[in-house]
Amino acid sequence: MTEELHPTVYIVDDDQSVRSSLEWLLQSVGYRTASFASGRDFLAAINADVPGCLLLDVRMPQIGGFELQARLNEMRFSLPIIFLTAHGDIPMTVRALKSGAYEFLEKPYNDQTLIDKVNEALRVSLDAYESRHSRINADQLLATLSPREREVVNKMVEGKSSKLIARELDISFKTVEVHRANIREKLKIGSVADLVRMVLGT
């Protein structure tokens, strides 16, 4: 994993002893951490394009955990959230999960359970990051195609042969084959299946 892709476990809790305890636990098993005493501090510091997960307290001054979750949802910030609270109940758990939280754990938590959940959440975040950047790279490559090449791509994705594409676009078979060769080179693909996956994002 490159440095850029090394995920961070963010901790937001107004209790210094809780932040220190979580940082010690997570760093002891190799995780990178960053802790914040308030939701405002977290919002001012986060990078939306870095994989990670968020350990979040529910009850905090100024911005509570649920309010911070709502703000992140409004920002379309997809960081997996694990709530940690000493004041949990079923309605709070349901509210958190319905709003997209990854997990809701009550304090005192089991250290290994927390580590397992953090590992799962980071994998979700890394998968989303890689998928997002794969899509961005695909879009950038597709943008290098000429309008005619893009027409040929659309026909290829529909499963049409070079002969049929030539007829529908009113160009020669040889010209279609030249376009197909250029498309393979520009998109760095080896097969029609690769092309379909790139265009459809699958």
Question: What CATH code would you report for 144-200?
Answer: 1.10.10.10
The sign of the torsion formed by the CA atoms of 162, 168, 173, 179 equals negative
Reported pTM: 0.70
What pLDDT is recorded for position 1?
A: 38
Q: What is the pLDDT of residues 117-142, one digit of tens each?
A: 999 999 999 988 888 878 888 888 89
pLDDT band at 3 (very low <50, low <70, confident <90, very high): very low
Task: Taking residues 26-47, report their average pLDDT.
Answer: 93
DSSP secondary structure string for all residues of 103-117: EEEESSPPHHHHHHH
Task: Taking residues 53-59, report their average pLDDT.
Answer: 93
Task: Taking residues 25-44, report their average pLDDT.
Answer: 94
Comparing 31-35, 183-187, 195-199, the range with the smallest average pLDDT is 195-199
Half-sphere exposure in the Cβ direction for 103 (13 Å, CA)? 20
Backbone angles phi, psi at 159, to 5 degrees: 90, 15
pLDDT band at 192 (very low <50, low <70, confident <90, very high): confident
**Distance from the Cα of residue 188 to its chain's centroid:** 24
pLDDT band at 77 (very low <50, low <70, confident <90, very high): confident
Which architecture does CATH list for 8-129? 3-Layer(aba) Sandwich (3.40)
Burial label, 83 (beta-carbon count in 10 A; 0-12, 13-18, 19+): buried
Enter the tokens of residue 139: 């879009």
Domain boundaries defined on the chain? 8-129, 144-200
What pLDDT is recorded for position 131?
A: 83
Q: What is the pLDDT of residues 132-179, one digit of tens each?
A: 878 888 888 899 999 999 999 999 999 999 999 999 999 999 999 999
Residue 140, amino acid: Q
Half-sphere exposure in the Cβ direction for 72 (13 Å, CA)? 27
Residue labelled with tokens 């084959």: 177
- Cα–Cα distance between 171 and 115 in angstroms, integer? 60
